[in-house]
Amino acid sequence: MTSVAAGSVPQVRRFHAILLWPLQLVPVRESAGAPPWELLQRLGGPWRMARGAGCADLSGERQYSEFVSFLPYVQRCLYGEPQGAAGTPAESPIRIFERDDIATARVTFERGTPPIDFNVENVQLYFFFDVEIVVLAVEIHADDLPLPTVQETLFRFGRAFPAFWNSDGRGGHCFERVEWISPSGAVLATSDFEQRDRYLRFVADHRTACIASHWEYLLEPLVGHDSDRPGPLRYRQIEYYRMPWMAYLALDNPALLTRATFARLALGAPPGDPDTLPFSARSLMDFESRYCYDRYWAPAERPNDTNTRYLCSGHAFAMVGSAGDRFFMDPEGGLLGQFRHQYAKIGLLSHFHRAALLMLSDRLVVAISRLNIRDVESVKRFKREIRRTMETFLRFTHRYWFHEVSTQDQARTLFRMWANHLGTDQLFAEVREEVQDMNEYLDSDSLRRQANTVVRLTVVTTLGLVGTVATGILGMNLFAYADQPWLVKLGIFVAVLVPSVAIILYSVVRSKVLAEMLEALSDDRKKWVGAFKPVRKARSSD
């Protein structure tokens, strides 16, 4: 950790952090047709369905304020449709599971230093109907911490696995140790960042990264898609290995923080010299306009406790305010309550949008990579997968996709900042274009097959006219076949039927060649002799 002289380090009087980790669910054969939340309920374990059909119980005043802060279509997405006339319960497209067997996250920053305990407020799983995405949300909090400790926690905590290893064997940018502690004080799981060989071997064997043991424990009974452990609920990483986070920081005087410190908080950088920018000055020339929402931040104009600054870079979000401001510290109707509920849901939707679009794009890439146009079964599987992806994209667009979440200025602006930094609008346009390209390909392929079928049917019908005229003699009175014995009539019928069937079958087999011949016969610019060239070429090729 960065060392700062005692007494000069800003103290964070109350600190909250929420990690949001989107993961892609991988369907397996034994779970086909069953929603993942039903499978999770069947498997048992520490997870249980949260109260309420939506993202929260709506029985209190705080929940009411949260609900009305969103636009109606966002309310339906988060909390479900209104109750029907017959009193049918509202159902949300989101299913939430939570666990309460973890009370503390005990982290050791460096070898030989005492650990720090963070209270675990919530551990939740968000499932989304019709979209193969699950989001893990973990909320921790602590009081009276030095600001560099808070920055280091935000920088290191949400690491799914080490990016590298230091010379002493520690995982790069990771804690020395992370432990999940139960309410009784028992250690439930411990990190294994130092087991370098395990991570290297897993990548070599599976071509994907290995998840750290304490995060694997937190997700159980969900298991990694490439894990050797069995399980019907499987997941794979869909984005960067560093989990997005949201932070709430209440300080004695946030106006004393430097521009460099705000830049480190906004961009998720580690602690450092408060007078030195984390990146070049040129790259941060527009820092305030790009990453800061300063509607309620004016320390030079009003040097009191009511200044609040919002920082957002997509991957990181922070609210910084004064511990002396009652409204900022209020966990129910104040900004702390809004951070844990309204803003947490805005962050959830923003990261879910990006994860869902990345998942759909990945499915299209996988479908194309498995396509073999010379294999009929491969073509059929490709068409089924594309149509399934198109259906999922359509449902995602009409159920979950929106550009505004609220008419409140701060909620509306912050959602747009999140979307701009995450690039979800551009990603949505790209995925929609890919889906449309696939749809056009399927439509053109279907039209081509229909055209070939029409050509074949036309040839068969044309040649069938000859057989119809020839066999029509049986219905004429030139020959008195009606008075013949039934055996004679049966023989005549078979004698006519067999050549007719043979001609029809041959015309189907040779329909393409015969179609070219008929086309040549209809061309008055060609001689009749040249019309039989396709037939001669076909015979010579045989």
Could you tell me the pLDDT band of residue 493, with boundaries at 50, 70 and 90?
A: confident
Q: What is the pLDDT of residue 490?
A: 77
Interval 469-486 mean pLDDT: 62
Q: Are 400 and 352 in contact (CB under 8 A)?
A: yes
Closest CA to 306 of 331, 335, 279: 335
Say how far apart CA 395 and CA 399 lie, in whole Å.
6
Q: What is the pLDDT of residue 438?
A: 80
The string of pLDDT tens digits covering residues 72-91 is 989 888 887 776 544 555 57
Mean pLDDT confidence for 454-475: 64
Which of 93-102, 158-167, 193-202, 483-492 has the weakest average pLDDT?
483-492
Region 361-381 average pLDDT: 84
Report the pLDDT value the prediction gives residue 240, as an integer from 0 to 100.
82
More confident residue, 243 or 4: 243
Average pLDDT over residues 288-304: 88
For the cut 70, the answer to whether the pLDDT of residue 362 exceeds it is yes
Q: What angle is formed at CA 314 by the lines to CA 313 and CA 315, rounded to 5 degrees?
A: 95
Q: Mean pLDDT over residues 2-23, rounded?
A: 81
Nearest to 365 by CA among 444, 437, 442: 437
- In this predicted structure, the answer to whether residue 231 has a pLDDT above a threshold of 90 is no
Give the mean model confidence (pLDDT) for residues 371-379.
Answer: 81
Query: Using CA atoms, how far apart are residues 260 and 525, in angstroms rounded to an integer?
Result: 83
Share of the chain above pLDDT 90, in %: 52
Q: Are 181 and 104 in contact (CB under 8 A)?
A: yes
- Quick one: pLDDT band at residue 381, thresholds 50, 70, 90? confident
Mean pLDDT of the chain: 85
Comparing 106-115, 456-465, 523-532, which segment has the lowest mean pLDDT?
Answer: 523-532
Residue 21 and residue 157: Cα distance in Å, rounded?
12
Q: Name the residue with higher pLDDT: 102 or 443.
A: 102
502 and 484 in contact (C-beta within 8 Å)?
no
Determine the angle formed by the axes of helices 511-521 and 486-509, rounding to 10 degrees. Answer: 80
Does the pLDDT at position 135 exceed 90? yes
CA–CA distance, 214 with 194 (Å, rounded to integer): 13
Task: Write out the DSSP string of 280-317.
Answer: -TTTTTTHHHHHEE-TT--TTT--STT--EEEE-SSEE
Between these two residues, 6 and 437, which has the higher pLDDT value? 437
The tens digit of pLDDT for each residue in 37-73 reads 888 988 888 999 886 544 446 777 888 888 888 999 8
Query: What's the pLDDT at 5?
Result: 43
Question: Sorting pLDDT into bands at 50, 70 and 90, what band is 1?
Answer: very low
**For 79-93, 101-115, 123-137, 236-250, which range has the lowest pLDDT when averaged over its residues?**
79-93
Residue 184 has pLDDT above 90, yes or no: yes
pLDDT exceeds cutoff 70 at 382: yes
87 DSSP assignment: -
Give the SS3 label for residue 247. strand
Residue scoring higher pLDDT (8 or 203)? 203
Q: Is 498 exposed, middle or buried (0-12, 13-18, 19+ CB in 10 A)?
A: exposed
Q: Decide if pLDDT at 503 tops 80.
A: no
Query: 67-71, 212-216, 475-479: lowest mean pLDDT where?
Result: 475-479
Task: Please determine, for residue 282, whether its predicted confidence score (pLDDT) is greater than 60.
Answer: yes
Claim: this prediction has a pTM higher than 0.75: yes
pLDDT value at residue 519: 64
What pLDDT, on the 0 to 100 scale, is given for residue 494?
Answer: 76
pLDDT for residue 350: 96
Residue 360: closest CA among 136, 24, 31, 20: 24
Percentage of the chain exceeding pLDDT 70: 83
Average pLDDT over residues 189-198: 95
pLDDT range class, residue 165, cuts 50, 70, 90 = very high
Name the residue with tokens 């039927």: 497
Mean pLDDT of 502-516: 70
pLDDT band of 16, cuts 50, 70, 90: very high
Judge whether 170 and 109 are in contact, CB under 8 Å.
Answer: no
